[in-house]
Amino acid sequence: MIVPSSNLTMETELPRMLAARETAIPGEWFTFHAARARMQHVTPEQLRAMNAQAERAAAELADARPDVVATACLVAIMAQGPGYHCAAEKDITNVLRAEGSHAPVVSSAGALLSGIAALGVRRVAIITPYMEPLTEAVVAYLTDAGVEVVDSLSLRVPDNLAVARLDPADLRKHHRRLDLSRAEALVLSACVQMPSLASIQPVQDEIGLPVLSAATATTHRILTELGLKPRVPDAGALLSG
């Protein structure tokens, strides 16, 4: 996985989900490897600079001969304009192939779109930790892909390390600030850095709608690319198998 240098959450939540899967499905096991790209503050300038480091990070990961590579910063890709995940995935794929790796490439941005599609829904509400302009960029990205964002909530935390320190239990209250009357699903965290895994299933049980996050969507896409059933216990409808 390629992660921002200040990201703490994907290297926690994704291995936790895969470990839970190992417990539920004996005989499977996973190893996890990450390369970092510098980014401290979630600003357009630092997001662009981080994207420029993706090819170097991909070359480093190719040496480990992984079975799948994920680039995990949703907003860094979505802030570049609609459809950019296709170009980002292609660029990383080209680097891997040049280094002799045949691993498929996924992005958290593309995974969120494919996760929403896998649920068979079109209308979602989202919660982000971003300032409003970046949340608007995420909404525009989803809209361009045919997903209607019926409501959104920005928690307005610009420092990326501060985002990682947000209490996921607070999401069990934050979602009540959204109008879910037209929503078919809730994206509890449209950010790979905002912790949410512990609240995915409780919020889903409360609202009666499918609940997903950038992290659960990335895990779903990883498992799908590996040809495995997308099943992780207590991680929401998307990973129910």
Tally of CA atoms within 13 A in the half-sphere of 223 that contains its CB = 25
The four Cα atoms 197, 202, 207, 213 give a dihedral, to 10 degrees, of 10
Token pair recorded at residue 172: 């069990």
b or e along 152-164 (b: 16 or more beta carbons within 10 Å of the residue's beta carbon)? bbbbebeebeebb
Active-site residue, from 50, 171, 191, 214:
191
Active-site residue, from 73, 147, 150, 183:
73
Does residue 191 have an active-site annotation? yes
> CA 218, CA 194: separation in Å to the nearest integer?
14
> CA 71, CA 89: separation in Å to the nearest integer?
8
Does residue 86 have an active-site annotation? no
How is 192-232 classified by DSSP, letter by letter? SSS--HHHHHHHHHHH-S-EEEHHHHHHHHHHHHTT---B-
- The owner of tokens 């994704």 is 14
Report in angstroms the alpha-carbon separations of 240 from 36, 68, 216. Answer: 30, 21, 11
Residues labelled catalytic: 73, 191
